Chains A and B, each alone.
Chain A
Amino acid sequence: MATAARSGVPAATSRGVVMPRAIPGLVVAINWSALGQVAVVTVVVAVIIAALMSLSNWCLTPAEGATVTTPRKAVGYALMGVMALIVLGGLYLMIPYFH
C-alpha cells in the first residue's frame, strides 16, 4: 500500500485544465515488514508463554484422588523456570542500560 511519491507538478487533462496530482509532500511510507514482524512475534511469544503456563499447571495439578509424582513435579517446576527466564529476557529488552 506504500504509494509512490508524486512530484506535485500538476498534470494537464485533455481539456487543458490543470489539476494537481496530489497533496504536495504526501508520501505515506509504511514499514509493512516491521508491522508484520511485530504481529508475528507478539502472537508467537504470547502463545508459547500460555502453552508453557498451561503445561506447567497441568503437571502440578494432581488427578482426582491422586498425588503428583515427583517427575511430573520436576517437569512442572522446570517449565516455570523457563518462564522465569523469559521474564528475565523481557527485562533485558526493556532496560536500556543492558544494550
Chain B
Amino acid sequence: MSIEFMVLIVVLTALVFDFTNGFHDAANAMATSVATGAFKPRVAVLCAAIMNLVGAFLSTEVAHTISSGIVDDSLVTPETVFAALVGAILWNLLTWLFGLPSSSSHAIFGALIGAVLYQAGVQGVHFSTVVSKILLPALVAPLVAGLASYLSTKIAYHGEHNAPKGAKKRYRMAQRVSSLLVALAHGTSDGQKTMGIITLVLVAGTLQLGDAGIATPWWGQAPGSSPHWWVILAAGSAIALGTYSGGWRIMRTMGKGMADIESPQGFAAETSAMAAILASSHLGFGLSTTHVVSGAVMGTGLARTPGEVRWGTAGRMMIAWLLTLPAAGLVGAAAAWLAHQGAWGFGTVIAILVIAAAAIKIAASRNHVSATNVNETHEVKVLAKTREGAKTLAKAVIAGDTHPIQNPLLPPLAHKLEGHPMEATPLRLTRLKRLKKTRIKSRRQETRKGGHRRKKRGPGSHIPGGSNA
C-alpha cells in the first residue's frame, strides 16, 4: 500500500474521529441549557457548532506529540495512529448509543496505549504518565467541579429549595453566556487535538517519502511547522458538524439523566465547569471537559435535590469512564495487529468500523432521541422495545402459546397493531404497510379534488381475507 494512500486513509479517519468528538461533546456545553430551556435544542447545537469552529481557528498551536508523553513517540507510526483512531471512534459510538458521557481524549489515549502495547510491549508505554495525566485527572475532575457546583448552587438558592423570585429568567440569560464559553473552550482544545494528529501523520508521511527518495508532495509537512490552512479548516469543520448533529442521546443523559435541574443550577454547573477547565489548562493539569461537566451537574443536583439524583445513571457513567482505557485499548491493539498485516488488514479494519458504525446507528434508531424529544424523559433506552418483544416471544415459545404476538423485529409498526389479528408476521406487516400507504395516497387525492375525506374505517376492515391464519 502506498504511503500517500495510507496518509489519506489516516487523515480521513482522523476527521471521522473529530466528527464523533463533536457530537459526543456537544452535551458538555449545551446539555444544561437545553434541559432548562435557556436554548432551544437546535439553536443550542448551532451556537455550540459555531463556537467550536471559532475555537478551532483561534488555537492552532498544535501539540508536538499526539500522546502527551503517555507512549514513546518514536513508536507512533501512521498505522498506530490509525489503530488509535479506530479504537476511539468505536468507543465514542458505543457510549453514544447508551447515552453515556465519556472522554474522547481518554478514548484515543486508551486506543493509542493498546496499539503501542501490541507494537512494543510495556516498554513503549509510560505508565507513570498514564497515572498522572489520565487516571488522576479522571478522579479529580468530577470531584473538584462537583464541589464548586455544589457550593455555587447553595449560594444561588440561598440555601432554599426554590429559586429566588425573578431569578430564573436572569439565570437563563447568564447560562447562555456560560454555555457558549464552554463550547468555545472545547473548540480550542479538542479542535487542536485532531489538527495535531493530522499534522503529525503528514510529517511522518513526508519523512517516509523522503527516505524513499520521493520529492515532498503538496501536502508535505516539515517537522515543527504549523498546520496547513486546509487541515485547520477540515478539523474545525468536522468538529463543528459533529456538534451540530447534536449527540442528543448524551445530551439527554447529561441534562436530565442525572438530576432534574433548573436554570440557576445550570448556570452554577456551567460556571464551575468553565472555572475548572480554565484553571486546569493554565496551571498545567489537564482535565477532561466531559468529566468536569458531569461532576458539576451531579454537584448541583446534590445541592438542591439530594434525594432525586439518579445514582444508577451516574454509576453507569462512571463504569463507562473506568472502561474507557481498557476497552479502547483492546480495540486499538486489535486494530493495530490488523493494520500491520498490510493492505488487507487496513481494509478489514475499515470494513469492521463501517459495519459496527452502521449496526450502532440501526440500534440507536430503535429508540430514537432527537431535538424534538430530548427533554421528554431522562432515560436513553437501547433496543428496549426489541428486548421486551423478544422476552414476550421467548415466553410464548416456552409456554407453547399459539396466539399472535408482537414481532420483536418490527417495533415501530408492531405497537400500532396491538390486538390486531395480523400483528404477528413480518410478511403481513409489510402488506399492511403498503395498504396503509395506498389509503393515505387516495385520501390525499380526494382531498385535493373535493375537500372531502373518506370516513375512517376500523383496522383490517378493508384487507382482503383479513383473519388470523
Write the residues of chain A forming the contact surface with B, with a CB cutoff of 8 angstroms.
Answer: 23, 25-31, 34-35, 37-39, 41-43, 45-47, 49-51, 53-54, 56-58, 60-61, 83, 87, 90-91, 93-97
Contacts and interface: CB of A to CB of B under 8 A. Distances in A.
Contact of A90 (B132, B144, B278): B278
Given A43-B147, A56-B170, 9 more contacts: A25-B126, A35-B136, A37-B283, A42-B144, A53-B156, A53-B171, A57-B167, A61-B164, A94-B188
B132 A29 contact: yes
Given A38-B279, A38-B283, A51-B155, A27 B181 contact: no
Nearest to B59: A96
Interface string B128-148: 100110001000100011011
A57 B188 contact: no
A91 B181 contact: yes
A94 B184 CA distance: 8
Interface in B253-275: 267-268, 271-272, 274-275
A10 to B, nearest CB: 18
Interface string B50-79: 000000001101000000000000000000
B152 interface: yes
Main secondary structure on B side of the interface with A: helix
A53 B174 contact: yes
14 contacts: A38-B283, A39-B140, A42-B276, A45-B148, A46-B271, A49-B152, A50-B156, A57-B166, A57-B170, A58-B164, A94-B188, A94-B278, A95-B58, A96-B58
Contact of A46 (B127, B131, B152, B285): B152
B75 to A, nearest CB: 15
B276 A61 contact: no
Contacts, number: 124
A95 B128 CA distance: 31
Contacts of A27: 128
B181 A43 contact: no
A28 B127 CA distance: 8
B166 A61 contact: yes
A50 B276 contact: no
